[in-house]
């Protein structure tokens, strides 16, 4: 059987055109990272296990026509193959893919791929120039054995303690910010390692974790540690306010220049040089005196009027609005941040976030919608050198997924 290199998607004009990514990730941080690589032009082959692939395929609700939106949102532009790493032959196919990959990405627990000979040392022995990226929960030291989910790390890391009112309970962030930040870090490391390989021919190991990402997100707070954090006090010029019509907006008056503009915009010029409020630390110390004044003032007009007034004085402020409104904002549409796909094997028409990275004159590519489970197994095997008879034999023996391009797997709520 031939062992020629798997050809990556080419001719896109995108920066990672010709780069093959073996994607052994699931859930969120890893798939988000590999989706960004696909956006940049890489050919991402997503390896999914039996019986139903990436766990997020069954994470419902929320869902779209029975398909988990969690999965759909972060797997566009990839090719899905289904392999059972517990099967010797399937594990061998996975190693064939790893030998040919430019980039190998995984988010198993540390040491979890050793028994399949897909760990860094094993893959590097067969593919010395590989860029091997690992995204874990807590790295390979203390806590390496623990399961890590975004909200658990939000709680452990102190991020929740900084979210919400100073005198109220801790709050979670509305989205999985640590997972997404870890995915971003992985992509930055992968791109740096590819540049190093281009210059030296050497492969590289890239490691990041939710632990690393949680600390990076709190860089400003860590500078103050272990001193008394100023964020423990109410900041009356950097908070949410309710307008007269019941709508809310966030005021971000973050420096002394904005304070002067704010007092003028509100007709409260007499407060500008009030010795209680003359500096931002003083405003924090006297927040119990300033806050009621601002609350009463902002309740005097509807939100739309305040947005006009504050905007006219160049004061940062934003109305709290539903995502459904924001995605139709002219600025969002102008920057092509919403992509519509006319057909998907699971859900039909599909709306996804556009690529957040814009390049010129090089370009990101529209990589297409997320794949159905096992959609590309036969295709990838042909690229590995298997003919139709060999592929049929593998399926007959259930060595690989039994139903190519099967589409949606049965969904069930996670326990």
The span from the CA of 157 to the CA of 169, in Å, is: 16
Strand partners, 339: 352
The span from the CA of 167 to the CA of 356, in Å, is: 36
The span from the CA of 279 to the CA of 73, in Å, is: 44
Helix, strand, coil shares of the chain as percentages rounded to 5?
40, 15, 45
- Taking CA atoms, 59 is separated from 30, 45, 223, 323, in Å, by 16, 22, 38, 21
Decide if 23 is catalytic. no
The span from the CA of 139 to the CA of 283, in Å, is: 41
Give the number of other CB atoms < 10 A from CB of residue 274: 15
What is the distance, to the nearest Å, from the Cα of residue 113 to the centroid of all Cα atoms in its chain?
Answer: 23
Nearest in space to 74 (alpha carbons), one of 39, 107, 100, 119: 39
Strand, coil or helix: what is 130?
A: coil
Question: Are 78 and 48 in contact, with CB atoms under 8 Å apart?
Answer: no
Q: Residue 308 burial by CB count (10 A; 0-12/13-18/19+): exposed, middle or buried?
A: exposed
Question: Helix crossing, 256-265 with 303-312: angle to 10°?
Answer: 130
Structure tokens at 169: 């309970």
Question: Are 327 and 338 in contact, with CB atoms under 8 Å apart?
Answer: yes
Q: From the candidates 84, 179, 346, 374, give the one annotated as an active-site residue.
A: 179
As a residue count, the chain comes to 415
Catalytic residues: 179
């Amino acid at each position: 059987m031939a062992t020629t290199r798997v050809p990556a998607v080419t001719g896109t004009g995108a920066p990672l055109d010709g780069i093959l990514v073996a994607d052994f990730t699931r859930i969120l941080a890893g798939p988000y990272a590999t989706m960004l690589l696909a956006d940049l032009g890489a050919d991402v082959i997503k390896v999914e296990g039996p019986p139903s692939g990436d766990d997020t395929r069954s994470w419902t609700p929320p869902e779209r026509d029975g398909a988990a939106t969690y999965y759909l949102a972060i797997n566009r532009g990839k090719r899905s193959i289904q392999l059972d790493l517990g099967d010797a032959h399937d594990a061998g196919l996975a190693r064939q893919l790893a030998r040919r990959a430019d980039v190998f990405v995984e988010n198993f627990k540390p040491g979890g791929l050793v028994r399949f000979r897909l760990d860094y040392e094993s893959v590097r022995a067969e593919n010395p120039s590989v860029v091997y990226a690992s995204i874990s929960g807590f790295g390979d030291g203390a806590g390496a054995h623990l399961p890590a989910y975004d909200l658990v790390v939000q709680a452990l890391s102190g991020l929740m303690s900084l979210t919400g009112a100073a005198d109220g309970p801790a709050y979670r962030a509305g989205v999985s910010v640590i997972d997404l930040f870890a995915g971003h870090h992985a992509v930055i490391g992968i791109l740096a390692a590819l540049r190093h390989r281009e210059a030296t021919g050497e492969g590289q190991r890239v490691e990041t974790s939710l632990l690393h990402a949680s600390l990076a997100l709190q860089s400003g707070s860590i500078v103050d540690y272990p001193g008394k954090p100023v964020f423990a006090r109410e900041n009356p010029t950097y908070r949410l306010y309710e307008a007269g019509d019941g709508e809310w907006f966030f005021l971000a008056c973050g420096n002394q220049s904005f304070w002067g503009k704010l007092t003028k915009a509100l007709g409260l010029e007499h407060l500008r040089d009030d010795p209680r409020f003359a500096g931002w630390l003083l405003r924090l110390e006297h927040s119990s005196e300033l806050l009621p004044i601002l609350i009463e003032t902002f309740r005097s007009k509807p939100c739309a009027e305040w947005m006009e007034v504050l905007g006219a004085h160049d004061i940062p402020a934003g109305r709290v609005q539903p995502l459904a409104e924001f995605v139709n904002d002219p600025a969002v549409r102008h920057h092509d941040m919403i992509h519509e796909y006319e057909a998907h094997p699971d859900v039909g028409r599909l709306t996804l976030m556009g690529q957040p990275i814009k390049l010129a004159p090089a370009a990101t590519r529209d990589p297409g919608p997320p794949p159905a489970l096992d959609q590309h197994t036969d295709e990838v095997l042909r690229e590995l050198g298997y003919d139709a008879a060999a592929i049929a034999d593998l399926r007959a023996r259930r060595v690989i997924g039994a139903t190519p391009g099967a589409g949606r797997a049965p969904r069930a709520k996670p326990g």
